[in-house]
Chains A and B, each alone.
Chain A
């Protein structure tokens, strides 16, 4: 234990040394570590999703490659990478690539700036929460660009839906985050976690906000029942229809990365982040994020996809007023 804390201490010393080179090396090491965590989580999440859904559907799921089919996703990945990349003639390849790369880098960056423990964070921004949600709001636009530039009509429809969805859930989500910031008295993410350690989890303090945020997160990261953008049975794959081989593999990876980001956000803002007894902070955080992610798998296996106009109605008729009520109640009960 002590040795690991020493390493973190050394890392922190480098990070805060004021020497540009040393700080850059420290950030790089941290980023590589975070990428490894993301990769492991994505891989395990992909496998768990297949297995759990298979169990719910009375199937076996992957069984042949590796023990309990654990290497199946790796095999799929190799298969996808070894295939030819087919680009439709009227697609704009550069923009397509750019959209995917933007989403990937944005979500990775956001995971990077989230605190895994009190001392484990690259940069402790005073406006951390705002930065996170600014980047998240840009993701549907990247989806829009990807959908339109793929030159596929299903992609076009998907792109339109992407913007419509943005209208429906973005505002409630930000209002809930505002309530969380109000509770902790700061936009600093560390502060949000520390407040939860002293006052109790925000999920308990403002349950309405928690539910709204969870729904908005599902919508944001294209999880069922809000997988309207890439609705399999209608739009084939929506904006992803014309992505092939390595880019499709990348897109699948992005899906899981965003899932990880979403679960982390729920865990940090509402479930107390790294705080927990006995075990070290990062373990607690990843444990909580995993629980949230597993819950979304169960939702995926059991619900019907929503329709885009119903989604808008849900957003404006329910989520927005409720998030306002949540904000006001939070103010009256906890702040005033």
Chain B
């Protein structure tokens, strides 16, 4: 108990400092939060990270280019393929290797499938965090499992794919992939519509989501949040549109934005992105050319790097991933990873200030981070 001044009056303020995590049902891994709670209102919250710090940036410096390839996937274990791809693109840019035409389509298809899987996981965990214990979670996991099965067909692995190779991919899409994929998309589109209907016609859900954790446009830019969180605040920025890579400029898709910047907008943007990604995959499957997609085999000694300084930017499911690499001939001299989760989590302290205790976890869920990538 302490005394403090509120609205010009001296009052007794009961502030409880409460430690949340790293072992807690809804901290998504090993995040530790220290929150000052007055009654049921969060006065202040501080994130303590680093429990999953593995020093990937340092580790990479001591390895040859393609040795550190699988490490990148372990950064974000929910969307490993996207990280895999970004790192390989950075190496490609350093070595000056071009990606084959068909391989570009294959990569886009796999990346978008990964995005769908990642956003489905978001939907499940988000619902868990606001207290819908496990029904939505199990349903979306069922769907995510189908995506993983498709990716397993395409890459031979279920969780950590390591499918990207310099100039192409390790395995081309199998023959019946298109058929399976279209079947999945048709089913999934229906399912997503159903989920939206279930959730948005539930008044308690809407109450918990709307107007909670508002991050307006200026703050979002100021705090540097990325990806769906930034777009939910009404900022038109998507690396796939603003700086197109691969064949994204040839494929027909829309950038999804919302303008409210609350939990609901963040949820809605991700739902719209799932739909858009599914359309995009359909589109890419239609346009994919015949030919060779297999990349260079994995070798320790590669042709020496041509470019010294390389910057690659990609729109991964959680936002903009940037890899800035100073390249030595055979290994990275320095690899700096701009992780989207890191920035989004850093915004939590600003967004969650003054919200209710229950909403703290809803906001945490809506920021959707993976601790592996925050801690690096």
Contacts and interface: CB of A to CB of B under 8 A. Distances in A.
A301 B135 contact: yes
B248 interface: no
A308 B202 contact: no
B176 to A, nearest CB: 26
A233 B16 contact: no
B268 interface: no
Given A236-B24, A304-B205, A307-B207, A227 B131 contact: yes
Nearest to A225: B204
A164 B358 CA distance: 15
Contacts of A153: 16, 18-19
A302 B135 contact: yes
Given A56-B135, A154-B18, A234 B26 contact: yes
A224 interface: yes
B116 interface: no
B311 to A, nearest CB: 39
A236 B25 contact: yes
B139 A57 contact: yes
Give the residue among B37, B129, B130, B202 with the most A Cβ atoms within 10 A. Answer: B130
B18 A157 contact: yes
B127 A304 contact: yes
B128 interface: yes
Nearest to B365: A233
Given A161-B40, A233-B25, A233-B361, A305 B131 contact: yes
Contacts of A227: 131
A83 interface: no
A231 B133 CA distance: 10
Given A57-B139, A160-B40, A224-B131, A304 B208 contact: yes
A303 interface: yes
B18 A304 contact: no
A307 B356 contact: yes
A58 B131 contact: no
A67 interface: no
Range class of the B interface residue count:
20 to 34
Contacts of B349: none
Contact of B39 (A56, A160, A225): A160
Contacts of B24: 236
Interface string A300-317: 111111111110000000
Interface residues of A, number: 33
A302 B358 CA distance: 19
A57 B134 contact: yes
Contacts of A156: 16
A232 interface: yes
B26 A303 contact: no
Interface in B198-247: 202, 204-205, 207-208
B361 A234 contact: yes
A305 B132 CA distance: 6
A305 B18 contact: no
Interface in A233-282: 233-236
A209 to B, nearest CB: 21
A1 B127 CA distance: 52
A94 interface: no
A53 B39 CA distance: 33
Contacts of B207: 306-307, 310
Given A157-B37, A224-B131, A234 B138 contact: no
A310 B131 CA distance: 14
Contact of B138 (A59, A157, A160): A59
A58 B137 CA distance: 11
A231 B359 CA distance: 12
Contacts of B134: 53, 57
Contact of A305 (B19, B40, B135, B358): B358
A175 B252 CA distance: 60
B26 A233 contact: yes
Interface string B181-203: 00000000000000000000010
Contact of A157 (B16, B139, B359): B16
A307 B359 contact: yes
A200 to B, nearest CB: 31
Nearest to B39: A160
Nearest to A235: B357
Nearest to A227: B131
A59 B359 CA distance: 29
22 contacts: A53-B134, A56-B135, A156-B16, A157-B16, A164-B40, A224-B131, A224-B133, A231-B358, A232-B25, A233-B26, A233-B361, A234-B357, A235-B357, A303-B204, A304-B202, A304-B205, A305-B130, A305-B204, A305-B208, A309-B40, A309-B356, A310-B207
Given A58-B142, A309-B40, 8 more contacts: A58-B139, A161-B40, A231-B358, A300-B133, A304-B127, A304-B208, A305-B131, A305-B208
Interface of B: 16, 18-19, 24-26, 37, 39-40, 127-135, 137-139, 142, 202, 204-205, 207-208, 356-361
Closest 8 pairs between A and B when the two form their complex, measured CB to CB: A305-B131, A57-B138, A233-B26, A304-B132, A153-B18, A304-B205, A304-B204, A307-B358
